[in-house]
Amino acid sequence: MKLNNVYGKEVFRVNNLIQKKRRQGKSFEEQLEDSLNSKKNEIQNKIKKNILDILV
């Protein structure tokens, strides 16, 4: 995608979305899944701890 001339040079906009999605060798979906799994595990551990506290 070509933008207007700036200081007599042609400037091209580069799509950075691909670079933003690929971090740590994982795709955006994999990162989302990992974060959701870690949050789910945290909540499950809190629930287990609360149940044990109630029972004891």
Is residue 41 included in any domain, yes or no?
A: yes
More confident residue, 14 or 54: 54
What confidence tens digit (pLDDT) does each residue in 1-36 have? 455 555 555 555 565 555 555 556 778 888 899 999
Number of domains in the chain: 1
Report if residue 8 sits inside a domain: no
Residue 51: give the domain boundaries.
25-55
Which helix (DSSP H) or strand (DSSP E) does residue 45 occupy? helix 28-55
pTM: 0.47
* pLDDT recorded at residue 46: 95
Instruction: Determine the Cα–Cα distance for residues 1 and 15; give it in Å rounded to an integer.
Output: 9
